[in-house]
Amino acid sequence: DQGFVKTTTVQIAKKAGCNSAMVHYYYRTKEQLFERINGEKIKLVIESLTAISGSGKSLEERVAEIIDVYFDFLSRNPRLPAFML
């Protein structure tokens, strides 16, 4: 709830119920942990947006699809925007 910048790996480990050394062993930094957790989700969104931009549809249709993809992603990951602040 305090955002990515202010969150420490010690806090993450405590919330996960494990030792902070374990977090550091597997994910040297919180950035690597974030990438592992959210990287695939973000990659899928980028692929969708890339496909839309090259689809040959009208600007209006592409903008509508981009908005749909973006809001669908946010509805499935509601805590992600606050986490990134």
- Residue 63 belongs to some domain of the structure: yes
Q: Quick: pLDDT tens for 11-66.
A: 999 999 999 999 999 999 999 998 888 888 888 888 988 999 888 899 999 999 99
| 9: nearest Cα among 45, 40, 33 | 33
85 touches 3 (CB < 8 A) = yes
- Residue 39 belongs to some domain of the structure: yes
- Cα(10)–Cα(29) distance, rounded to whole angstroms? 11
Look up the domain containing 61 and give its range: 9-84
pLDDT number for residue 45? 86
pTM above 0.85, yes or no: no
pLDDT number for residue 42? 84
- Cα(75)–Cα(85) distance, rounded to whole angstroms? 17
Q: How many domains does the structure of the chain reveal?
A: 1
- Cα(26)–Cα(49) distance, rounded to whole angstroms? 31
